[in-house]
Amino acid sequence: MSNVIESIRVLLGGTPKRVAKKDMPEEVRELHAHKFADKERIEKIRIELAEKHANPPLEKLRLKRWAVLIAVNLLFVVSYHLDIQLLEGALTASRFAGFHMADLNSALQVMLAFKHVVINLVIGTTTVFILWWLLGGRTFCSWVCPYHLVAEWAEMLHLKLVDKGWAKDIQFDRRSRAWLWLVFVILAVVTGYTVYETISPTGILSRALIYGPGVALIWVALLLLFEIFFSRRAWCRYACPIGLTYGIVGATSPFTVRYQLPNCFHEGECRKVCLVPHVLDTVLKGKAKAMEVDIGADCTRCLRCVDACPTGALTIKYKGLTS
């Protein structure tokens, strides 16, 4: 339970706590000390990394994730335009084969704004809650959210511009996301209007794909430009209430990325590619508190860290199905 509480605290913007060496199990302390002295293995890993950087391999899991994300969103488009009624609506609210589904954050905004609980929303949110608890909460962000995909492509451009000195990477306080979540909740109650849904890039892109582009896409373009030139993945990291909501849902999910201390030699490749590198603080030298550590609730399960790790220290685990 303490691990879940700590995971949610970090999700809300807290700094990951460092466990004192005296509080670590003896076998963990001994392993930390042994690995720091294993110069031969460290040198081998450096050679492996140099070869990898010279000939970058395909990120197979990333490509699979993009394919799933595109397929899910195209299913909305095809169902609407061919009128096959398989997947009706948009990501904010839909019906799949007759089952109501509602984005948790959108449903909350609607119920707070109208001060009324609609039975279809209750059914839809219950279905979606169970689905994303099983699949890991913020898995929604990296495997379904259309803004995540275009922001990821924008990030690739951002990194190239930063290398050339043409862009900056301004970092903000991660607690801003929790404060914005609260602000949008208060605005919904006070105004009687779903203010967040007006500016949500997830909702805007989903509706634009299905029903056609609108003027709201200008806002999405401005967000992407800000991320390209001024702050890497700013919306997802510091602002999006949807990510926070699904992070809380997935805090106890059976689907996780698991870190294995014995396999890790702290190259840092995983943190370089991670959207939320604070969840990987445990991979830093001397920080792992156990032989195996499940990555926290803010992890989007994009699995780029699994692809990037040269020693297999990060793996996909589904509790109850995998050991």
Give residue limits of the domains in the chain.
2-58+254-318, 61-248
Of the candidates 99, 116, 98, the one whose C-alpha atom is nearest the C-alpha of residue 107 is 116
**pLDDT reading at 20 higher than 80:** no
Read off the pLDDT of residues 121-139 as tens digits, 9 standing for 90 and up.
888 899 999 999 999 999 9
**pLDDT reading at 160 higher than 70:** yes
pTM of the model: 0.92
* Cβ partners under 8 Å of residue 265, min gap 6: 35, 38, 41, 42, 45, 311
pLDDT at residue 173 in the model: 96
What percentage of the chain has pLDDT greater than the value 90?
A: 65
CB 259 within 8 Å of CB 292: yes
36: confidence class by pLDDT, cuts 50, 70, 90 = low
User: Is the alpha carbon torsion for 14, 16, 22, 25 positive or negative?
Assistant: positive
pLDDT at residue 117 in the model: 81
**pLDDT reading at 59 higher than 90:** no
Read off the pLDDT of residues 289-305 as tens digits, 9 standing for 90 and up.
899 999 999 999 999 99
Q: Which residue has the tokens 């990898």?
A: 52
**pLDDT reading at 85 higher than 90:** no
310: confidence class by pLDDT, cuts 50, 70, 90 = confident
Look at 226 and 312; give whichever has higher pLDDT. Answer: 226
Across the range 77-99, mean pLDDT stands at 86
pLDDT at residue 323 in the model: 58
Across the range 197-205, mean pLDDT stands at 95
In total, the chain counts a number of residues equal to 323
**pLDDT reading at 151 higher than 90:** yes
Least confident among 26-30, 66-70, 169-173: 26-30
Helix, strand, coil abundance in the chain, percent, nearest 5: 60, 10, 30
**pLDDT reading at 322 higher than 70:** no
What percentage of the chain has pLDDT greater than the value 70?
A: 98
Query: In the structure encoding, which two tokens stand for residue 150, read together?
Result: 């275009």
